[in-house]
């Protein structure tokens, strides 16, 4: 399963919702990964680092990706892949909406 969180505007809660969904679904014993598609901001990646330091469970995999295509290659390895999109997701190649 793949869930894409996208918006033209930044600061609307995409990353917060991605993290919330990932943690709650991981509690149901699904394997979950967040694809952080905003490598400049890296909100989900930074949150993962803070969770690791604090020892919070469940552990949720997070990885930065520069393209949707690269992130989608991970989908078969997890029960759920959450695409945490950047603001202005239409810019540069394949859009989040095409995923």
Backbone angles phi, psi at 70, to 5 degrees: -65, -40
Q: pTM of this prediction? A: 0.84
Does 99 have pLDDT greater than 70? Answer: no
**pLDDT tens profile 37-68:** 998 889 999 999 999 999 999 999 999 999 99
Tally the residues of the chain: 99
Grouping H, G, I as helix, E, B as strand and the rest as coil, residue 84 is strand
pLDDT band at 12 (very low <50, low <70, confident <90, very high): confident
Cβ density class 55-80: b for 16+ within 10 Å, e for less = eeeeebbbebbeebeebbeeeeebeb
């Amino acid at each position: 399963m793949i869930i894409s969180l996208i918006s033209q505007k930044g600061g609307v809660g995409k990353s917060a919702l991605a993290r919330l969904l990932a943690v709650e679904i991981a509690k149901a014993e699904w394997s979950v990964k967040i694809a952080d598609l905003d490598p400049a901001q890296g909100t989900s990646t930074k949150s993962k680092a803070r969770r690791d330091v604090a020892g919070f469970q469940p552990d949720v995999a997070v990885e930065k990706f520069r393209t949707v295509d690269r992130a989608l290659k991970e989908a078969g390895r997890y029960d759920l892949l959450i695409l945490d999109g950047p603001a202005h997701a239409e810019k540069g190649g394949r859009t989040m909406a095409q995923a």
